[in-house]
Homo-oligomer: A and B are copies of this chain.
Amino acid sequence: MATIDDVAKAAGVSASTVSYVLSGKRPISAPTRARVERAIEKLGYRPHAGARALASARTNVIALMAPLRVGVNVPVIMQFVTGVVTRARDFDHDVLLLTQDDVSGLDRVTGGSMVDALVMMDIEADDPRVPVVAAAKQPTVLIGLPEDPEGLSCVDLDFEAAGRLAVRHLAAAGHTDVALIGSPPEVLLRHTSYADRLMRGLRGQAKASDVTVKVEACDASPAGASEAVDTLLATAPDTTGIIVHNEAALPHVLSRLADRGIVVGADMSVVAVCPTDVALSQRIAMTSIDLPAEDIGRVAVDMVMARLDGEQPSETRLLAPVLTERESSAPGPAADDD
């Protein structure tokens, strides 16, 4: 591989001049710049990333810690990842992928100066990773909201507002008995922050709108979904509005309802909280609150980059939920006729 000295020699300049051509940190005359660029081109020169990192204390790499465990929510995770990776490239950064459980990986990549910054997904209320990255010299953005962010920036959909919005939508349509079919029990037990927040919004608005709200955890399997539906209908038979916050279970919930002869969009209104493409690929176009996963990933990168080169203070951004009415929701029993 050609080095910067080779390029310098070929262009008849010093190595530092080549460096300045590349970085633009000092003015270089047009003819010199042109000679250097030609030499770079001719030699196929690529700066050595390690050398650069050593000299400049910048790696142009960010770490992304993603929950790679199979099963739950995988397509949604992929959307986050896509958002992060593509946006990182806009900032001329690459992405180092860490798996969720690899807490020691955080030390490794921060302590070893492998990355300039971190993005962490799927944050729990009391997440053991938060103190680790809070102590690191690299800025971090959390996707999700821990109880104590310890000075770190956070970004997420405003699930609390989403919960309110969903209930308000159903209540306005005349539903008085609504329910949530939510995340798998283990997610709820972990107190994954989004599940908690959604529930808080749900309950608050239920009180305000004077509707009842029943909550069912739900495994992502067909059996789990059936069970959740059956339990719900047994214990709260008056339910006419369901909010589903579980991408993997959604199709099975709809199947089960259909099997029981319940027509979604007529007998039963269903509002999903999920990415738009998931809402649209069900057996019926779902009224849904969009989970803009790719956007969130992008925003996370924007935030982390801002902190990287200004001395921005940390911030928390909660994206406002948007509900799109489609075919799965309809007026309920208490609706005024029109």
Contact = CB atoms under 8 A, between A and B. Distances in A.
Interface of A: 1, 44, 46-54, 59, 61, 64, 68-71, 74-75, 77-79, 81-82, 85-86, 89, 94-99, 102, 105, 107-109, 111-114, 137, 220-222, 251, 255, 277, 281-283
Contacts of A96: 61, 94-97
Contacts of A97: 64, 81, 85, 94-97
A79 B86 contact: no
A59 B61 CA distance: 13
Contacts of A282: 222
Copies of chain A in the complex? 2
Contact of A114 (B74, B82, B86, B94): B94
Contacts of A221: 281
Given A94-B96, A94-B105, A47 B86 contact: no
Contacts of A222: 281-283
Contacts of A51: 50, 54
Contact of A50 (B49, B86, B105, B109): B49
Nearest to A220: B281
B79 A78 contact: no
A277 B111 contact: no
A54 to B, nearest CB: 4
Nearest to A58: B50
A7 to B, nearest CB: 13
Given A85-B97, A86-B99, A222-B282, A53 B49 contact: yes
A74 B71 contact: no
A287 B112 CA distance: 48
Contacts of A50: 49-54, 59, 113
Given A53-B53, A74-B75, A94-B96, 4 more contacts: A44-B111, A49-B53, A50-B53, A96-B97
Kindly list the 9 A-B residue pairs having the minimum CB-CB distance in the complex, ordered from nearest: A50-B53, A46-B111, A50-B54, A49-B112, A49-B114, A74-B75, A97-B97, A50-B50, A68-B82
Contacts of A69: 82
Given A50-B49, A59-B50, A102-B89, A109 B82 contact: no
A54 B55 CA distance: 10
A146 to B, nearest CB: 24
A221 B285 CA distance: 12
Given A68-B85, A75-B74, A46 B108 contact: yes
Contact of A113 (B1, B74, B77): B1
A48 B55 CA distance: 11
A101 to B, nearest CB: 10
Contacts of A251: 251
Contacts of A95: 96-97
A114 B47 CA distance: 10
A89 to B, nearest CB: 7
Contacts of A75: 70, 74-75
